[in-house]
Amino acid sequence: MRKFSRKFSVFLVGAAVFINLAYADNSTERIKNRGVLIAGINTDVEKFGYKNPQTNIIDGFEIDMVRAIAKKILGNESKIELVPITPRSREYLLYSGKLDIVAATFTITDERKKYYNFSSPYYADGLALMVRKGSNIKSLKDLNGKSIGTAYSATSRGVLRDIAAKSGMKFKFFAFSSYSEINSALAFESVDCFAADRSILAQYANNNTVILDDMLSVENYGIASLKSDTELGKIVNEVVNGLKSSGELDKMAQKWGLKN
3-class DSSP assignment, residue 27? helix
Measured CA to CA, the distance from residue 128 to residue 195 in angstroms comes to: 6
Give the mean pLDDT of 218-232.
94
Average pLDDT, the chain: 89
pLDDT value at residue 260: 65
Q: Give the pairing of strands 58-59 and 49-51.
A: antiparallel
pLDDT tens, residue by residue, 204-217 = 999 999 999 988 98
**Taking 60 as the threshold, does the pLDDT of residue 2 lie above it?**
no
Q: Which CATH architecture has domain 2-124+220-255?
A: 3-Layer(aba) Sandwich (3.40)
Res. 32 pLDDT band, cuts 50 70 90? very high
**Taking 90 as the threshold, does the pLDDT of residue 42 lie above it?**
yes
**Taking 50 as the threshold, does the pLDDT of residue 48 lie above it?**
yes
Q: Which residue, 221, 244, 227, 194, is CA-closest to 49?
A: 221
Res. 7 pLDDT band, cuts 50 70 90? very low
Q: Give the pairing of strands 49-51 and 193-197.
A: unpaired
Looking at the chain, the domain(s) classified CATH 3.40.190.10 span 2-124+220-255, 127-217
Res. 23 pLDDT band, cuts 50 70 90? very low
Res. 18 pLDDT band, cuts 50 70 90? very low
CB-CB contact of 113 with 70 (8 Å): no
Domain 127-217 CATH assignment equals 3.30.413.10: no
